[in-house]
Amino acid sequence: MNISIKAALMVSAFALASPALAAGTHPTTGEALADDQSFTYRVLDEHSSVDPQIVEDVSGSEIVRDLFEGLYSQDNQGVLVPGVALSHTTNEDKTVYTFTLRDNATWSDGKPVTAGDFVYAWRRLADPATASQYQWYMEVMAIANAGPVMAGDMPTSELGVKAIDDHTLEVTLSTSLPYFHLTTTHSSTFPTPAWAIEEHGADWTKPANIVSNGAYVLTEHVPNERSVRSRNEAYWNNDATILDTVTALVINDENVALQRYFAGELDRTEIPTGQYPDLSVSNPDETTVFPRLCSYYYMFNMRPDGPAAMQDLNVRKALSYAVNRDIITENVLQGGQTAAYTFTPGATANFSVPDVDYAGMSQDERNAAAVEMMAAAGYDASNPLDLTLIYNTSEGHKKIAIAVSQMWKQTLGVNVTLENQEWKTFLQTRSNGDYQVARGGWCGDYNEASTFLDLVQSGSGYNDSKYNSPAVDELLASAKTMDDPQANYTAIEEAIAADMPLIPIYHYAGNYMIATSLKNWPVDNVEQNWYSRNLYKVAE
């Protein structure tokens, strides 16, 4: 009796000590909130870093977006909302941007966030000594003098960014860029604390040393097991933060992760390939599907000294037509992916998918056309085409390769040799051009069609097909300065469909199991820039 009273007292004392919002109702929706506001999710792999200028992977960027806050953030639809910057102005030709920063933003150690912190961070990103893999982002942003600074030909102080005063940041661009402010949501542009980095060097991101300005601080990091971030009491908008702790658990095996989700150890995990249909029936409230800004494709090796068969337009088109995309999306992947006949996903902002000719045909018509083209190319039952398809080792790539190779075999009589390779060997083989057909995947860096279409530019380092069309290059170049480049994008997609340097197969979809108590997951944000401070857990 005595003991239970004591326990009850202790529990209530505990409840009093915890933040006011931990139990109660959501300020806008009025939903009853759960007492336990902790969110645990699965990541495939250990994150590369939590240093904004160094991080290069998706799971690391997710953490960085929670720990740090840049000039702007995104809302659930991917629309820009104020971050540290309240607003910005720009000059007539959009080469100078001036940002006004909020005066109540502070670092987790209590220091104010100033324009100087941004200047420091951006110079740090461009500094060759930092050797960031995202250095090139400064060139995407077209910051003045980014190139020479990166090459070490100019001191970092020449970079086109300066603090007018503590709350005014001025950025000078090398060229007019109407969408410059959109680039400031990227984690590599987030401010970093000069004093902490100078004091601790590379160790500054360790939980004991890190100073951050986002809604959360890093409190625990056990490499390859877990990383925990907790509410940052010094964050300017801390009162609106509902989740107290966010934990990322590293679980390599997606099937095991799903089991642990069912055991209640996780609030969010990926749905393994092929399991969506069953789970959407058994757990309809938890399965979540949304489009992603990514394309899956097979590329042909079009190098002039490459395999002869791949030079033949008929062969390339026949192989593309004979791929039944609907089977891939509906029977192999089964996770809400969309069949692709164009390279750019339909989910891309300000982009409408053009009607390329073969997209409108039925699969039977495509198959018939494919057979004709194959015959025209001089291949038949007595003289079949021999083809090697390379892909990197992965369950999903394997299943697709198996299905496609059977489609080619059954429809066109092509003898396909499948060859999986370990990731780095695969990349090397592909960029050396030692292949006939290779798998490719591409995710947009930003939400605009050029991030995809630049891939078919003849000089692009990403163009592993070595597709070379002066007309397409011309269209791409002129699109850069257009207010509405859709006409050019349509023409480029039509050129891709006509020349078929690659076979678009499908556009990705995100597939999550999300616990019913976790609310406000931004499924409409195609870039999947999610912020833990917008999530909350309701009482069940």
Partner 1 sequence: MLNFIIRRVAIAVPTLLILLVASFWLMQTAPGGPFTSERPLPQQVLDNINAKYGLDDPLPVQLWNYLVGIVTEFDFGPSYKYKDRTVNDIIAQGFPVTLKYGTISFLVAIVTGCTLGVAAAIRQNTALDYFAVGVTIGAQVLPNFVMAPILIMIFTVWLGILPGGGWHGGEWPYLIMPVIALSTSFMASIARLTRSAMLEVLRSNFIRTARAKGLPDRTIILRHAIKPAMLPVISYLGPAFVGMVTGSFIIDSIFGTGGVGYFYVNSALNRDYAVMMGLTILLGSMTIMFNMVVDILYAWIDPKIRL
Partner 2 sequence: MLDVKLNPSQRKTAEMAKNIANVKGRSLWADARRRFVQNKAAMVSVFVLGLVILFSFFGGYATEYDNETIDWNVLGSVAKVGQPSIESGHYFGFDDSARDLYSRVVQGSRISLAVGVVGAFIAVLVGTLYGAVAGFVGGRVDSIMMRLVDIFMSIPYMFVLILLLVVFGRSITMIFVGIGLTAWLDMSRIVRGQTLSLKNKEFIEAAMVTGVSTPKIILRHIVPNLLGVVVVYATLLVPQMILTESFISFLGLGVQEPLTSWGALISEGVKTMYYGAYWQLGFPLGFFIVAIFCFFFIGDGLRDALDPKDR
Positions touching partner 2 (CB under 8 A) are 255, 258-259, 272, 274-275, 277-278, 327, 330-332, 334, 393, 395, 398-399, 401-403, 405-406, 410, 417-422, 425-426
Please tell me the distance from the alpha carbon of residue 296 to that of residue 502, in angstroms, as a whole number: 10
Please tell me the distance from the alpha carbon of residue 475 to that of residue 460, in angstroms, as a whole number: 14
The residue among 510, 525, 464, 469 whose CA lies nearest residue 493 is 469
Q: Which is nearer to partner 1, 140 or 371 (CB)?
A: 140
State the nearest-atom distance from the C-beta of 432 to partner 2, in Å. Answer: 11
Rule CB under 8 A: choose which of 30, 223, 284, 459 binds partner 1. Answer: 223
275 touches partner 1 (CB under 8 A):
no
Please tell me the distance from the alpha carbon of residue 325 to that of residue 319, in angstroms, as a whole number: 12
State the nearest-atom distance from the C-beta of 438 to partner 1, in Å. Answer: 12
C-beta of residue 215 within 8 angstroms of C-beta of residue 66: yes
Q: Is the dihedral of CA 51, 56, 60, 449 positive or negative?
A: positive
328 three-state secondary structure: helix
239 binds, among partner 2, partner 1, none (CB under 5 to 8 A by kind): none
225 binds, among partner 1, partner 2, none (CB under 5 to 8 A by kind): partner 1
The secondary structure element, H or E, covering residue 391 is strand 386-392
211 touches partner 1 (CB under 8 A):
no
129 touches partner 1 (CB under 8 A):
yes
State the nearest-atom distance from the C-beta of 397 to partner 2, in Å. Answer: 11
406 binds, among partner 2, partner 1, none (CB under 5 to 8 A by kind): partner 2
48 binds, among partner 2, partner 1, none (CB under 5 to 8 A by kind): partner 1
State the nearest-atom distance from the C-beta of 249 to partner 1, in Å. Answer: 6
179 touches partner 1 (CB under 8 A):
no
Helices assigned H by DSSP within 413-525: 423-432, 450-453, 470-479, 486-499
How many Cα atoms sit within 13 Å of 366 on the Cβ side?
A: 21
Q: Which is nearer to partner 1, 40 or 90 (CB)?
A: 40
Stretch that binds partner 1, among 369-377, 425-433, 467-475, 532-540 (CB under 8 A): 425-433
Rule CB under 8 A: choose which of 39, 41, 46, 114 binds partner 1. Answer: 46
419 binds, among partner 1, partner 2, none (CB under 5 to 8 A by kind): partner 2
Contacts to partner 1 from residues 149-178, by CB under 8 A:
150-152
- Which residues, 6 or more positions from 170, have their beta carbon under 8 angstroms from its beta carbon? 96, 97, 98, 99, 161, 162, 163, 164
The residue among 6, 31, 13, 11 whose CA lies nearest residue 21 is 31
309: exposed, middle or buried (Cβ count in 10 Å: 0-12, 13-18, 19+): buried
Instruction: Give the total of residues touching partner 1 (CB under 8 A).
Output: 54
Q: Which is nearer to partner 1, 200 or 399 (CB)?
A: 200
- Report the b/e string of 412-438 with b at 16+ CB within 10 A: bbbebeeebbeeeebeebbeebebbbb
- Which residues, 6 or more positions from 213, have their beta carbon under 8 angstroms from its beta carbon? 68, 69, 84, 105, 106, 107, 108, 113, 117, 191, 193, 232, 235
357 touches partner 1 (CB under 8 A):
no
Rule CB under 8 A: choose which of 34, 51, 316, 412 binds partner 1. Answer: 51
306 three-state secondary structure: coil
Stretch that binds partner 1, among 297-305, 367-375, 421-429, 495-503 (CB under 8 A): 421-429
Q: Note the residues at the interface with partner 1 (CB under 8 A).
A: 46-51, 54, 56, 128-133, 135-136, 139, 147, 150-152, 202-203, 205-206, 222-226, 249-253, 255-256, 259-260, 262-263, 265, 422-425, 427-429, 431, 441-442, 461-462
